[in-house]
Structure 1
Amino acid sequence: MGQSRTRPEFPQSASDMQRMQEAAQTAGVLQAMGLAAFVCDAEGRVLAATPSGLRLFDDGLYLRLKDEQLEMRASGSRTLRAAIAEMASGQRIGARLLPLPGPDGGETALAEIVRLGVGHVDWTGVVVIVRWPGSDPADRASAAGRALYGFTAAEAAVAAHLLNGLSPQAVADRMEVSISTVRSHIRSTFLKAGVNSQIEMLAAIRCRI
């Protein structure tokens, strides 16, 4: 993964360095919250991103980077940039929500665009957070697990079934695999989510969807 995606080559004046530092600090806070998010300037250029945000690029999900600007992978990039500019200008209060069509017509996510707080002396930026608001909690859990923690499709499916209240044995029956396979997937999700128990893993996903 190239550094150019998270550290665009802007002229390194004092104000530019301050902007990059503030963007990195904001991304650090968003990362601690477990969010797939991007810090952008008013033109939609990505100044910093969380690891789970960058994973969306790597997995070809929802968003891409072109000339350092954030774009929808499907149609609608002009709408996204216009929304970012609108929020950066302060013309709109609160957050702006835009649908993000999934690849190949898959599940739609949401881009939540929020203006950074006042206090940035030389620039105005926004945060773009990707959320999964679909009606099916299992679908949301699966999408969040894959984007936030890098779960494989099978691991995400196991996590989604557990979130729906199935026992590991019931998950094995539903997926037509052995219970040992399910337990192996569960252990893998613990490692990737940085948790030590099934309850912690499910809580980490539940609070992000």
Structure 2
Amino acid sequence: MRPTDKHIRAFSQVADIRKFEIDMYWKRAAYFWTIIAVTFTGFFALSASSSFPYKDLFLLLLSNMGLVFTFSWYLVNRGSKYWQENWENHLDHMEDKITGPLYKTILERPKVSNKKNNKIDHFFTGPSKLSVSKINQWVAIYICFIWFFLIMIASSSVFIELKNIMPIPKSYVAMGFIVLSFIAMILMYWKGKTHSGEHLSSLVERHSRIVP
């Protein structure tokens, strides 16, 4: 059965959307890399300062911000991958009638011979079935743990300092940073999922005419 023009146009559009999603994936990654790098820079620049007032309190604030930004990057990675796979699944479903099983067919290098040099070369420099998006997610998780470690360090200094120089009620500010960060991450994960139920929309048509 020959594909119709409608099927061909749909296939071409889906392929373009997939490329767009991949392009946006890396643009979003670069956006979060920049924010996280700036936060790291600010944290370590401030930690090197010896005369900044309430330094430990602001270090705690920066480390909490870094944790939230990095967790956001992790969730954005997962969301981007979801939509990329959505369009790839569309291509898998449509391509048999248009191009044949192009995306579903994987051509790999044959297994290496038993020679030691070939195995070493394949292990260190050969191609591998690794997911770039999964690696990005693991990097985000790793950086989250780094931020959490920095939060623990900053917290220990802050609460000791605030206990000595601030009234007790003001020391709650430090705890507020931590609580707020975890609330933000919980809401991102809980409320940040794509709506998959019924979509309702309203239509408003505007009419205009020229008065003679």
Q: TM-score range by the shorter chain?
A: under 0.3
Whichever structure has more strand as a proportion of its residues is 1
More relative contact order in 1 or in 2 (CA 8 Å, sep 6+)? Answer: 2
TM-score by length of structure 2 reads 0.26
